Amino acid sequence: MGVRVFVMMAQGQSQSAWTSFVPLVIMLGIFYFLLIAPMRKRQKKQEQMIADLKNGDRVVTAGGIYGTIVGIKDDRLTLRIADQVKVEITKSSVSGLDTPANT
């Protein structure tokens, strides 16, 4: 008799543990689709934009400097920010292209 009660209790506990696990899985799925997936999409778009940079493109850096690309090296860019003023920056510091609407 005692074994039977123990088996019934064990079955009941495993079922309730399973039903308490389902909401956690659902919350993780929602978290992924609302936060992680859009962030990965934005990151891939940023990486593609940096890979497509070429001489003559107008860019904005993460520090807010606007300039025109005049040279490209492995991991660095040379920007002309004014007449006779050039600065060298890392490619990763480019935050975006300067669109005509911004100028």
Strand partners, 76: 90
Strand partners, 85: 82
Give me the amino acid identity at 32: Y
Give me the amino acid identity at 4: R
What per-residue confidence (pLDDT) applies to 87? 96
Which of 81 and 14 is assigned the larger pLDDT? 81
Integer CA distances (angstroms), 47 to 36, 50, 53, 93, in order? 17, 5, 10, 11
102: confidence class by pLDDT, cuts 50, 70, 90: low
What per-residue confidence (pLDDT) applies to 40? 93
pTM: 0.66
Residues 6 or more apart whose CB falls under 8 angstroms from that of 90 comprise 75, 76, 77
Residue 65: closest CA among 92, 94, 85, 91: 94
pLDDT in tens, 27-84: 999 988 899 989 999 999 999 999 999 999 999 999 999 999 999 998 999 999 999 9
